[in-house]
Amino acid sequence: MSGRKAELVEQVARIRDLDLRLLDRVSREALTLDRNWMVEYARWQSGNWQTMSLYNDSGDPSDVAIRDCEARETTVLEHMPATRELLRSFGLKYMWVRIARLPANTFLWEHSDYRDLADLERHRLHIPLHTNRSATLTLGGARVHLGYGSLWRLVPTNRHGACNLSGPDRLHIIMDCYADDTFRDLTSNLTLDDNDIQWLPEATDGEISAHLDEAVALGKLGYHQAAEHSLLKLFYQYSMPEGMGYDLVIRAYEMMGEHARAEQWRLEKKVKLCLA
């Protein structure tokens, strides 16, 4: 395994295959959910990434802002017997479990997670329930597609982003759990196929300056959000140093003479990348 692939496996990896008959039932249950979807973490996304809780401390599926707790099943699992069976089968000590819907043309901007939580060892697992090849995580200079049929691990304290370019909706179960022997046994064999990975090229100076000029032109016309998104989306197109998308937004606003907006984005960068 190459050095950069080994580094990537440290950040995201396939744990093992799941029972497809059970997973198909879980997927059908998820696709018929029509209530309790919540838009949380709005600053972290381009819009409309929705979640619902399956395990938390209140039992309320619309309570979706994660925190350390002793989690129990939420009321929605009463109507999702296959999902309940699957989640119980791992024997993990859950902190929180959500189901997340990422619609077409939606982006979770570059960020790191767990910033405000206690200093405990916790881990994040993903189960794709409905997905497509344009739905990927971006991290470690690559885009990685989490395929249906497997259980995956993501280390979300590393910077990462997610996108679903073409649709249909990407539906994932996201399980935050505390470290214990069960977790360690479950994750003892991590792999990543080359087919799961799309390595991203580095941008040339000319490409960066062309994107910057386009964003400045949009901003001068008053399309501030379009300008910001055009630069933040470069994170999914190029392998870029940490926070470069945010730095480009700041530079664009400085070029426009919009210093207050530039200052606001300096703060956004610190918050999203846990630099504050």
Site residues (vs Fe ion, CB under 5 A):
113, 156
CB of 111 to Fe ion, least distance (A): 6
CB of 249 to Fe ion, least distance (A): 19
CB of 138 to Fe ion, least distance (A): 11
Closer CB to Fe ion, 132 or 158, in the complex: 158
Closer CB to Fe ion, 162 or 244, in the complex: 162
CB of 6 to Fe ion, least distance (A): 22
Q: What is the 3-state secondary structure (H, E, C) of the chain?
A: CCHHHHHHHCCEEEEEECCHHHHHHHHHHHHCCCCCCECCCHHHECCCCEEEEEEECCCCCCCCCCCCCCCEECHHHHHCHHHHHHHHHCCCCEEEEEEEEECCCEEEEEECCCCCCCCCCEEEEEEEEECCCCEEEEECCEEECCCCCEEEEECCCCCEEEEECCCCCEEEEEEEEECCHHHHHHCCCCECCHHHEEECCCCCHHHHHHHHHHHHHHHHCCCHHHHHHHHHHHHHCCCCCCCHHHHHHHHHHHHHCCHHHHHHHHHHHHHHCCCC
Closer CB to Fe ion, 109 or 238, in the complex: 109
Closer CB to Fe ion, 140 or 219, in the complex: 140
Q: What angle do CA 236, 50, 136 make, to 5 degrees?
A: 25
State how far the alpha carbon of 127 is from the alpha carbons of 27, 110, 124, 154, 210, in Å: 10, 21, 10, 11, 38
CB of 113 to Fe ion, least distance (A): 4
Closer CB to Fe ion, 44 or 265, in the complex: 44
CB of 262 to Fe ion, least distance (A): 25
Closer CB to Fe ion, 114 or 253, in the complex: 114
Closer CB to Fe ion, 113 or 268, in the complex: 113
Residue nearest to Fe ion (CB): 113
Question: What does the alpha-carbon distance between residue 58 and residue 74 come to, in Å, rounded to a whole number?
Answer: 7
CB of 200 to Fe ion, least distance (A): 18
